[in-house]
Amino acid sequence: MARSRARPLTTAEAILISVLAYLVLLITLAGARIGREQDRDVQPEPAAITIVQVADSRPAAAVRRARSSCVSARTVPTFYAAAPGVTEPLAFGPPVEVPGPVSTAAVNGVLIERLCYRPDPRLFAALDAAVNGRDPNRPLSRVEWAAGSTRFVTRNALFVDARLVTRTAPLRTPTSGMRVRRGAEPLVLRTRLARQDTSRYLVLPVRSARGRVVTLTLRLRCGFQPIF
């Protein structure tokens, strides 16, 4: 896969649109949930999935458009671990923090951007590994990447139940990291925190392939790096 040369949007730019985009996603997910509970025995015909582009500085009206997948034949992957602005060793990407208060909706929007709008296949693979126990460094075909990212964003990640917490993780807490490699995709590593760390986290419930709900705890300062 070729690496995107486009500059990723900053968190400040992302927050300009992510709240509105998140509300659209929230309404869509809530409607789907209500429909399922009203008629659990009816299996609807598959329909086109509406993906809302988020973290875009353009007007919201220009952002909303129907897409069948987070990844198309023309999608160029963005590897956030190698993007400008990374501040921590082995981080998954630039920090998802700005001075002052930040909403859960805004943070959800940045994660959706990195998985579905300017998508990072290695970020998806790492989060999928944390939920389903798969190899985060396995080769991903474009079909697998498209299906997995779209399913994560539109179906499995329970964004309506996400929350932000401040937590102190002790020394040697298990975590993952990404090592940037020249001419290759970043390598996902299992590692441990080198020091006690107090950070803000996105706590995101995700439905696994087996149907149980796994809670991801994603460190914002390290670009959605999971701790275990």
Alpha carbon 194 to chain centroid, angstroms: 25
Has residue 3 been placed in a domain?
A: no
Sign of the C-alpha dihedral, residues 146, 141, 89, 163?
positive
- Within 8 A by CB and 6+ apart from 214, the residues are 130, 131, 205, 206, 207, 208
DSSP state of 64: B
Cα separation, 76 vs 1, whole angstroms: 7
Report the pLDDT value the prediction gives residue 90, as an integer from 0 to 100.
95
149-194 confidence digits (pLDDT tens) = 999 999 999 999 999 999 999 999 999 999 999 999 999 999 999 9
In a domain, 2, yes or no: no
For residue 6, being part of any structural domain is answered with no
* Residue 4 placed within a domain: no
The residue segments making up the domain with residue 52 are: 11-227
pLDDT at 81: 97
pTM exceeds 0.75 = no
Q: Please give the helix or strand (H or E) that residue 24 lies within, else none.
A: helix 11-38
Average pLDDT for 124-149: 96
**Closest alpha carbon to 199 in 166, 156, 151:** 166
* Residue 15 confidence class, pLDDT cut points 50, 70, 90: low
The closest of 221, 139, 145, 142 to 177, measured between CA atoms, is 221
Contact 226, 188 (CB under 8 A): no
Q: Which long-range contacts (CB under 8 A, 24 or more apart) does 147-151 make?
A: 147/69, 148/124, 149/69, 149/70, 149/71, 149/115, 149/116, 149/119, 149/121, 149/124, 150/49, 150/51, 150/69, 150/70, 150/71, 150/116
Q: How many domains does the chain have?
A: 1
Mean pLDDT across the chain:
79
Does any domain span residue 5?
Answer: no
Residue 30 inside a domain? The answer is: yes
Quick check: is 205 in a domain?
A: yes
Backbone dihedral angles phi then psi of residue 208, each to the nearest 5 degrees = -80, 175
pLDDT at 42 > cutoff 70:
no
Span of 24-38, 106-120, 190-204, 209-223 with lowest mean pLDDT:
24-38
Give domain status of residue 137, yes or no: yes
